[in-house]
Amino acid sequence: MTTPVLEARDVTMRFGGLTAVRSVDFTVNSGEIVGLIGPNGAGKTTFFNCLTGLYVPTEGTVAYQGKVLPPKPHLVTQAGIARTFQNIRLFANMTVLENVLVGRHTRTKEGLWSALLRGPGFRKAERDSEAKAMELLAFVGLDAKRDHLARNLPYGEQRKLEIARALASEPGLLLLDEPTAGMNPQETRTTEELVFAIRDKGIAVLVIEHDMRFIFNLCDRVAVLVQGEKLVEGTSDVVQADERVVAAYLGEPFEGDPGEAEAAEVEAAEAAAETADADDTADADDSGAADDIADSDSRSDADTSGVADSTGEENDSTTKGEAQ
């Protein structure tokens, strides 16, 4: 039986006048790998940030294993959700092993600062944690590089190290934000195998990715965000076959497009403006072209000065232009 690990209900995130995520309901069940896709700017990372407490949603709730999460990243990690970032965030001057040990701080008595400062309490906790960290490094294939500085690892291995560090907090759900960005096809294939292996450990996975082949091979279920709204959700086959998804990626309008109403308004306004222009031309034909040209010149002068008034720089340049 599938049980929900993560349940987001009616999540909306606004930044001033911009609604980046709009009324999204979303569930990840135990044992699932779920993909979140969508064109650039669709709201995927914003939604991730709402799930992990980095943003407090303007509306809606996020629950993990039936309990509503507090909107604080460290409490979300403590509850059992770990994540990686679109832009890798490692401790560049710490070793590979130390990076994973830091990731264990929510599961040890020692706090993050103790881990960073390597105090005496941390040394004992480190001994207890080291075997676990080495296990994780072996799992992602980096055990031989335990003493390398993180910044010296090739890009693909840095991404794996970030995953190992996330796993160190012993999550029940792992969120991966573009885990294959910048990887070559071979590295992407290894990451795919790694994600399957993570799921086999009993950890549910939610992944954002632009590489469609990766997503459709990997995921049990895929949700598509477009302009902040969930457009389609289903198996890889269902999503791939949905013409609205193709249209959204190609930037073509489609029935039910979240931007459809706005596009219709713009079209109507343009049509109205064209009609008004046509009427003006007809009037000019009727009642003396010379007068109307003079009128329209004076109107455009007034318009220009209006724009210039509202922006100091343009006002200056207009003034200079006139002086010359």
Ligand X SMILES: Nc1ncnc2c1ncn2[C@@H]1O[C@H](COP(=O)(O)OP(=O)(O)OP(=O)(O)O)[C@@H](O)[C@H]1O
Q: What is the DSSP letter of 95?
A: B
Q: What are phi and psi of 10, to 5 degrees?
A: 55, 40
Is the CB of 48 or the CB of 122 nearer to ligand X?
48
Sheet of strand 4-15, all strands in order from the earlier edge strand to the far edge: 18-29, 4-15, 59-64, 67-68
List Cα–Cα distances, 174 to 17, 64, 80, 138, 297, in angstroms. 31, 12, 9, 18, 64
253 binds ligand X (CB under 6 A): no
87 binds ligand X (CB under 6 A): no
Please tell me the distance from the alpha carbon of residue 254 to that of residue 256, in angstroms, as a whole number.
6
In angstroms, what is the minimal distance from the CB of 277 to ligand X? 33
Task: Among 2, 15, 117, 243, indicate the residue that binds ligand X (CB under 6 A).
Answer: 15
Q: What is the DSSP string of 191-234?
A: HHHHHHHHHHTT-EEEEE-S-HHHHHHH-SEEEEEETTEEEEEE
Task: Among 35, 43, 103, 179, indicate the residue that binds ligand X (CB under 6 A).
Answer: 43
Is the CB of 44 or the CB of 104 nearer to ligand X?
44
Task: Among 25, 41, 263, 309, indicate the residue that binds ligand X (CB under 6 A).
Answer: 41
53 binds ligand X (CB under 6 A): no
Query: Interacting stretch for ligand X, rule CB under 6 A, among 44-52, 69-77, 137-145, 314-322?
Result: 44-52
| Binding residue count for ligand X, defined by CB under 6 A | 11
Q: What is the DSSP letter of 106?
A: G
Query: Interacting stretch for ligand X, rule CB under 6 A, among 36-44, 68-76, 77-85, 278-286?
Result: 36-44
42 binds ligand X (CB under 6 A): yes
56 binds ligand X (CB under 6 A): no
38 binds ligand X (CB under 6 A): yes
Query: Interacting stretch for ligand X, rule CB under 6 A, among 42-50, 157-165, 215-223, 310-318?
Result: 42-50
Sign of CA dihedral 287, 290, 295, 300: positive
In angstroms, what is the minimal distance from the CB of 15 to ligand X? 3
Task: Among 40, 87, 93, 287, indicate the residue that binds ligand X (CB under 6 A).
Answer: 40
Is the CB of 71 or the CB of 141 nearer to ligand X?
71
One-letter amino acid identity for 207?
A: V
Please tell me the distance from the alpha carbon of residue 242 to that of residue 188, in angstroms, as a whole number.
25
In angstroms, what is the minimal distance from the CB of 158 to ligand X? 19
Q: Contact 174/183 with Cβ under 8 angstroms? A: no
Torsion of CA 91, 97, 100, 102, to 10 degrees: -60
Alpha carbon 60 to its chain's center: 18
In angstroms, what is the minimal distance from the CB of 79 to ligand X? 23
Task: Among 5, 20, 136, 239, indicate the residue that binds ligand X (CB under 6 A).
Answer: 20
45 binds ligand X (CB under 6 A): yes
Q: In sequence order, which ranges of 24-152 are alpha helices (DSSP H)? A: 44-51, 73-79, 96-103, 112-117, 120-140
Applying CB under 6 A, the residues found at the interface with ligand X are 15, 18, 20, 38, 40-46
